[in-house]
A = this chain, B = another copy of it.
Amino acid sequence: MTDLYLIRHGIAAEHGTYQNDDERPLTQEGDRKTRKVASRLKELELEFDIILTSPLIRARQTAEILKAAGLSQQLEECAALAPGGNLHDWVSWYNNWKTTSAKAFALVGHQPDLGHWAELLLWGNFQESLIVKKAGVIGITLPSTGSPIGQSQLFWLTSPKFLLS
């Protein structure tokens, strides 16, 4: 069994403030809060074999913060994690990547995709039933064999509020 952590990027510059939406960076508050979340995750002794991130700046920055906090040694971009990306694309990546020693990995991405993917993994379909705040975390246990879709289990869903205050 492998644990998957879906992590939403931190608070970023408002939509529309950058000509290219992909380039919106974390705000100062977003950076600060994301660092706090990262150090809390480290305190909780989480460790990711790899962090895959959406290539968009705000996600990439979030992933760099997680790596810098010591949560993983490895960070890669994954196009399927950009907004509108397809679950099946990164599940194929996962099927290639996973080994018997893989314990946990993290994906850094966007809403509503992260919530949809989580629902697909848990129930096989989605209806926007999960609230995923910026810098929020979803923890899912993937089954050791067979497709993870509709066969996974949720062990954690939290907003920064419940992690930090």
Contacts and interface: CB of A to CB of B under 8 A. Distances in A.
Contacts of A127: 123, 150
A157 B159 contact: no
Contacts of A162: 44, 156, 158, 163
20 contacts: A44-B161, A122-B129, A122-B130, A123-B123, A123-B129, A127-B150, A128-B153, A129-B154, A130-B154, A131-B141, A131-B154, A131-B155, A154-B157, A155-B157, A156-B158, A156-B159, A156-B162, A157-B158, A158-B158, A158-B162
A165 B156 CA distance: 15
Indicate the member of A43, A45, A129, A155 with the most B CB atoms within 10 Å: A129
Interface residues of A, number: 24
Contacts of A157: 154-158
